[in-house]
Amino acid sequence: MKYNWQIPNSKISDTAIQLANDHNITPTISQLLVNRNINTFEQAKSYFRPQLTDLHDPFLMEDMRKAVNRLTLALENEEKIMIYGDYDVDGSTSVALMVSFLKQLDANVIFYQPDRYDEGYGISFKGIEYAKNEDVNLFIALDCGTKAIDKIAKANTYNIDCIICDHHTPGHELPEALALLNPKKETCQYPFDELCGCGIGFKLIQAFTSELGWTLEDILPYLDLVTIAIGADIVPLNGENRTLAYFGLQQINASPRLGVRKLLETNNKLKNITISDLVFTIAPRVNAAGRISHASAAVEMLLVKTEEKAIEWCDKINAFNTERKELDKDITAEALAMLKSNSELRDKKSTVVWNKSWHKGVVGIVASRLIENYYRPTIVLAINGDEATGSARSVKGFDVHNAIDQCSDMLTKFGGHKYAAGLSLKIENLEAFRTKFEKIVSHSIADELLIPKLKIDGEITPKDLELDIPNNPFPKLFRIIQQFAPFGPQNMRPTFLINGLIDTGYSKVVGSTHLKLSVKDPKTNKIFDGIAFGMGDKIEMIKTKKPLAIVFSLEVNEYRGNVKMQFGVKDVKLSTIPNA
C-alpha cells in the first residue's frame, strides 16, 4: 500500500526545548511528548507515572447516583439481577466483570448474551423475555442499550428496572431506562467520554464500592478485564483509559485471573504482557466464541475457577479461533477477487460487498482486511434468508457511523462508532443502499483521506541508537520509549525516519510475503535488523544497495532466548537525500 508520509518540521519546538530542560531529557524525547499534547513537567510526570488518583469521580457521570441506589436496593432485598452484554470482546469482558463482582457480594445474579445469528447485536426482545421468565428485577446492560428504545420500553412494562452502561453514540431519542450511564450523552458532563463499555461498568463498580468504604486498590483485580476491552475496542489510550490500562497491565503481569492466564500460557505469552499481546492473543479468542459458537463460552472462560475447567474452556476457545482464522482467510480471498474482477466496484470511494455463503461472524474482520488493500470506508455483509447483516469499518478521519445514519431509512438496525459499526437491512434494499452509501461517501470524503497517512514523530540518526550500557542490547532512546506504554490510539508507539542505511546483503523475503531487513550505516558499519510485514515485493529495491529511507518503530525481538532491538518497519523507499 502506498502511504503519504507525514514528516514533521525538523526544528524542535520551543515548548519541547523548555520541557527538555525542565525534565532533564533529550529534545528528541521532549518533542515526542509535545506531539502527544504533553507540554509541562507536571503533565509529563503524570504521563510516565500514572496514579490511581488520576481516575475521575464516577459520580460525575450522569445517572450514576440513580444506578448505585438501585443496585444497593437490589442487593439489600436479594433481588434477581441479570447482566446483559454484547457478544464482542467489550461485551464479554463487561459481563464477566459485573458477574464476578456481584458474585463476590453473594448477589443473586445470572447473565445473558444475544446469539449473533438469531438475535443480532444489542439488547434483544428475546433477552427481555428471558429476563421476565427468570423473574429478574434488575437488568444491567453493558456495551449496548443506548438505542434500545423499544426493548427498554418492553422491560418497563414487565416492571424490570434497567441500568445501561454504554459508550455507543446516542441517537435522537434515548431509552427510558432507570439509569443510562453513557458519557457521550449531550447532557452528561463526565470529563472523559472515550471509555469502553467495560470501562463504564468499572466506573459503576468504583462508585458502588466507594459507598461501602472500599479503596481503589480493592477493585484493581477487575482491571485485567477492563484492559483487554480497552485494547480490543480500539478506544483512545490517553486520559482515563491510559490510567486504567497502566494498572490493568500490572494486574495481568502480576496476578491475572485463571482464564486469562491459561489463554496466555497456551499461546506462549508468559511474561511482559503488553496491550499488543492482549489485542493479538486474548481478544481474537474471546471474539471467536461469539463469532463461531456463542459468546457465553468466552464469559465462562473468564469466570472459571478451577484448573480443570480452565483447560476445558481454553481448548474450546482456541478451537473456535482456529476455525475463525480459516473463515477469515477464505472470505477475504473471495471478497478481494470480487473487487479485482469488477472495475465498477473497485473504482468507487466506498466498498459495499455481500455474499450468501459468507459467515456473519467474521465480516467485520474481512472489512478491515479489505481496507488494507483498498483504503476506503468498507461494509461487508452476510445474507441469511431475506436479511443481510454485516459490519462497517472506516479510514482515518471519516465518520462511517454518520454516513450509515444517513441511510437509516433503508436499515432495520444499526449502531456503533465513528470508525466501526454494525447494520442490518432487507436484501431487496442492498443495491439501493450501496448506491446511496457511495453517494454520501463520495460527496463528503476528502480525497486525501483515501490515502493512508504514515505519521512520523521525528527523524533520527544511527548515533541516536548507539548502545550506552555494557551488555544491554537496548539504547537509551529505546528504554525511554518503552515508558511511553501502554500504546494504542492517541498514544501510538513513536515512529521514526532514518536515512542513509543500506542493505548488508542479508535482507531476504520470509514467509513468502514479508521482508526480513538487514541494513547498516555505511559510515560505521553498525548493523540494524528489522521486519516489514507484507513488503516482500520491495526486496529488489533493497538489493540495489542504494541509500534507503526507512520509517519504523523500535521493538523487541525475542527468539530462542535471545533478546535484541529491531525495527518494526512501516515503510521503506529509496532515500531522496543526496549522499545520505
User: Do residues 213 and 231 both lie within one domain?
Assistant: yes
**Mean pLDDT of the region 72-86:** 97
Helical (H) or strand (E) element with 478: helix 476-482
**Mean pLDDT of the region 30-41:** 90
**CB atoms near residue 556 (< 10 Å):** 15
Sign of the torsion formed by the C-alpha atoms of 340, 323, 120 and 71: negative
Predicted confidence at residue 578, as pLDDT, reads: 59
Q: What is the pLDDT of residues 416-461, one digit of tens each?
A: 888 999 999 999 999 999 999 999 999 999 999 999 999 999 999 9
Q: Give the bridge partners for 549, in sequence order.
A: 499, 573
Q: Tell whether 205 is covered by a domain.
A: yes
Q: Tell whether 229 is covered by a domain.
A: yes
Q: Which amino acid is at 191?
A: P
User: Do residues 424 and 469 both lie within one domain?
Assistant: no
User: Do residues 213 and 348 both lie within one domain?
Assistant: no
**Mean pLDDT of the region 288-311:** 95
Q: What is the pLDDT of residues 101-138, one digit of tens each?
A: 999 999 999 999 999 888 888 999 999 999 999 999 99
Note down the domain range covering 438.
Answer: 342-450
CA dist., res. 94 & res. 197, Å (int): 7
3-state secondary structure labels for all residues of 25-70:
CCHHHHHHHHHCCCCCHHHHHHHHCCCHHHCCCHHHCCCHHHHHHH
What is the grid cell recorded at 315? Answer: 481448548
User: Do residues 256 and 205 both lie within one domain?
Assistant: yes
Average pLDDT, the chain: 94
Give percent of the chain above pLDDT 70.
99
**CB atoms near residue 194 (< 10 Å):** 19
Helical (H) or strand (E) element with 404: helix 400-405
Q: What is the pLDDT of residues 185-201, one digit of tens each?
A: 999 999 999 999 999 99
What does the buried/exposed string (b/e) look like for 393-418 if buried means 16 or more CB atoms within 10 Å of the residue's CB? Answer: bbbeebbbbebbbebeebbeebbbbe
DSSP 536: G
Predicted confidence at residue 1, as pLDDT, reads: 80
User: Do residues 496 and 443 both lie within one domain?
Assistant: no
Return the higher-pLDDT residue of 188 and 560: 188
Q: What is the pLDDT of residues 134-167, one digit of tens each?
A: 999 999 999 999 999 999 999 999 999 999 999 9
User: Do residues 367 and 313 both lie within one domain?
Assistant: no
Predicted confidence at residue 579, as pLDDT, reads: 52
Predicted confidence at residue 120, as pLDDT, reads: 81
Alpha helices in 172-256 (DSSP H): 197-211, 223-232, 239-254
Q: Is the pLDDT of residue 281 over 80?
A: yes
Q: Tell whether 19 is covered by a domain.
A: no
Q: Tell whether 326 is covered by a domain.
A: no
What is the grid cell recorded at 109? Answer: 445474579
Q: Is the pLDDT of residue 580 over 60?
A: no
User: Do residues 435 and 467 both lie within one domain?
Assistant: no
Predicted confidence at residue 2, as pLDDT, reads: 86
CA dist., res. 521 & res. 503, Å (int): 9
For residue 415, the domain's CATH number is: 3.10.310.30
For residue 199, the domain's CATH number is: 3.90.1640.30
Q: Is the pLDDT of residue 62 over 60?
A: yes
What is the CB-side half-sphere exposure of residue 469 using CA atoms within 13 A?
8
Q: Tell whether 14 is covered by a domain.
A: no
User: Do residues 371 and 286 both lie within one domain?
Assistant: no
User: Do residues 136 and 244 both lie within one domain?
Assistant: yes
User: Do residues 351 and 313 both lie within one domain?
Assistant: no
Give 343-346's long-range contacts (Cβ < 8 A, gap of 24+). 346/374
Number of domains composing the chain:
3
CA dist., res. 575 & res. 578, Å (int): 8
